[in-house]
A and B are shown apart, each in its own frame.
Chain A
Amino acid sequence: MERHFCTTQADGLSRALFTRADLEIYGIDHFCRSYTARIFFDPPADVPDNADERHRAYAGQFSIFGHSECLGEEGHCAPPPTSERRFDRRPSHPLTPAFKRVVVTDALRRALSISTEVPISLLVAPTDASDEEADPDPGACHARLLTYKGMQIVTFR
């Protein structure tokens, strides 16, 4: 099980009145295998590997539909820099980093009732080991699954 952890100082959040709160994760690399990431507003020590939606600090989950191995020639799966050509209206590369939003309204309220510092733990469940054994096209894509540029909590009223 792959784990990620960060905290956010939520002084502003604790004073905000909100009817909905989203955890946004941006710049997600989705080249590798598919996975599901479960989110908990708890420190890692309090989140066992088998924690699920029944955990008291469960906040939500998101999934990534991955590309797995590259089926093109050299350079096929390397997104080029954004084109600066004025008349280049083509869509961006299919591996343009992904954006995910998870509605965490109730979980955030629970976390803020405890502290203004919100711990965010992510458990990333990749494909099963049996998938890797059965995969007829095993590639070299075994890097850390979840890589992203940033995360933010956005509230709405």
Chain B
Amino acid sequence: MSNATPLLEARNISKAYGNVTALTGIDFRLDAGEIVGLVGDNGAGKSTLVKTLCGAHQPTSGQLLIEGHEVTFSSPKESRERGIEVVYQDLALANELSVAENIFLGREMKRSGLLGRLGTMDRKAMHASAVATLHSLAIEIKSVDARCGMMSGGQRQAVAVARAIMWGSKVLLLDEPTAALAVAESDKIAGLVSGVKDKGVGVILVSHNLPQVHELCDRVVVLLRGRVVTELRRGEYNVDDMVSWITGTALHKK
């Protein structure tokens, strides 16, 4: 880990829903060009942490910093404006719209002049830009005019990731990106995530696919009952170690 200011940092984050404590004193950091895995059993607090980091939930206490500046998010929209893009499990794609239309959804390019002021879209420019983005990420999709509903799970995932990257996100939060994918597609997404890392984006990978987490992540943060129990570094552990941390048996051994 570098000593530079982290891209995203959570300090002593706690979150309680009434009397139920979901997160206790979480410290978390993510550097640029780093892939950090977030693993834990169901109910360990993964999704609560993800929701807190992207502003869907507000922490009960603790601080959130982006590039050293403290921030508070009251909605995912605000976190997005600060460069945190979440690719949700359901991908949030409009199936009837094409790849290019989905990539630009909500951020359509307008034509210049009077037509633009009337709200007319510049479809050619969006098309070209979508092609360029997919190309730069080495995503193979036959046509950006293809409708998203017609594509495979892996292609849809790739489109969702491309959309997140295209909008210059600094932090990419992937929530179970390969859960619903065939093995070959899952490998393609893994390749895509590595490519994103090389662009200097920090990636948080929430996944149950432990071999993939092991292969892709520079660090893995293990959550258990709302606490960070350990951080595993690349090359210093194997998947079995990770499992014993997740289930908590590693705690009893020590």
Q: Do A and B bind each other?
A: no
Taking Cβ atoms with an 8 Å cutoff, the residues of B that contact A are none
Taking Cβ atoms with an 8 Å cutoff, the residues of A that contact B are none
